[in-house]
Copies of this chain bind each other. A is one copy, B any other.
């Protein structure tokens, strides 16, 4: 995630770092500009068409519904991004709550504190890696029985770590260190880990319906590539930069929506999952300190 100061207008306006929409769209914008120049040349200097009275009336009509669709797209992408952030906030909260409860329930220096510190840290790390494509077992910390053998032959590693947490709680309950009412109050956090994992998988595996994606891209294409026809007669060669900027406006919105639709990657707009995992690990260390 890019760290930035939202109030620094000048810097942001003239900021074209490598992930910026402007730079990403630059090649396409060059193409649109060349295309408009070409049409302009044809109409003005070859065919000598006469200007229309309302060259933009149609585009104004269609531009309205296209703009609304783009904002719908923006909203749904942003909702996914923000829901993703909420889920990781919930991971943070659950980890802390589980640690606070266990640190109060377990006797001082009980060795299970270390087990939970490691397992919860592993869980978040594994979910992060899982969402980015591959869980590397070597990144996990092993503790007690929850070692390499425990994870071997399991495909869905986050589920397996979740199972380790359940088994450890269950073991403590069977030996009487956790009692009935403590088992009940620990339930919420245990359930929530799996719920959050499932919610992340949902966001990652379900882009918006393909129809919308295809429809919006087709509309932007039709909109921009038909624009020069009636338009260049009034604006002459000025049409080229103008059409290019309109293309930037519409395609830019669609492109940003695409970027934030799956917020768990490593793009500059994606969530700072590495930082979150690191912070939670630090919190767990502090809470389980004594």
Cβ contacts A to B, 5 pairs, < 8 Å: A4-B210, A59-B61, A65-B253, A68-B71, A210-B268
The segment from A36-44, A116-124, A157-165 that touches chain B is A157-165
Flag whether A266 is at the interface (Cβ < 8 A).
no
Write out the residue numbers on chain B whose beta carbons fall within 8 Å of the beta carbon of A2: 210
Query: Could you say how many copies of this chain the assembly holds?
Result: 5
Instruction: Judge whether B211 and A260 touch: CB under 8 Å.
Output: yes
Write out the residue numbers on chain B whose beta carbons fall within 8 Å of the beta carbon of A70: 65, 68
Flag whether A169 is at the interface (Cβ < 8 A).
yes
Instruction: Judge whether A166 and B211 touch: CB under 8 Å.
Output: no
Write out the residue numbers on chain B whose beta carbons fall within 8 Å of the beta carbon of A93: 194-195, 197-199
Flag whether A214 is at the interface (Cβ < 8 A).
yes
**Interface size (A, Cβ < 8 Å)?**
118
A interface vs B, CB < 8 Å?
1-2, 4, 6-7, 9, 12-13, 15, 20-22, 52-72, 74-76, 78, 81-82, 85-86, 89-90, 92-93, 96-97, 100-101, 103-105, 154-156, 159-160, 162-163, 166-167, 169-170, 179-185, 187-191, 194-195, 197-199, 201-202, 206-215, 217-219, 221-222, 226, 234, 242, 245-246, 249-250, 252-253, 256, 258-261, 268-269, 271, 282-283, 286-287
The 8 Å CB contact of A210, one of B13, B245, B269, is: B269
The 8 Å CB contact of A242, one of B58, B167, B211, B213, is: B58
Instruction: Judge whether B89 and A214 touch: CB under 8 Å.
Output: no
Q: Would A217 and B65 be within 8 Å (CB), given that A104-B166, A202-B85, A283-B156 are in contact?
A: no
Bound together, the chains give a CA A103 to CA B256 distance in angstroms of 44
Q: Would A100 and B12 be within 8 Å (CB), given that A89-B201, A242-B58 are in contact?
A: no
Instruction: Judge whether B249 and A219 touch: CB under 8 Å.
Output: yes
The 8 Å CB contact of A217, one of B12, B60, B242, is: B12
Instruction: Judge whether A163 and B100 touch: CB under 8 Å.
Output: yes
Instruction: Judge whether A60 and B59 touch: CB under 8 Å.
Output: no
6 pairs of A and B residues whose beta carbons are closest in the complex: A104-B170, A93-B198, A89-B202, A180-B181, A65-B67, A185-B187
Bound together, the chains give a CA A89 to CA B76 distance in angstroms of 18
Instruction: Judge whether A101 and B215 touch: CB under 8 Å.
Output: no
Q: Would A72 and B69 be within 8 Å (CB), given that A101-B166, A160-B286, A214-B15 are in contact?
A: no
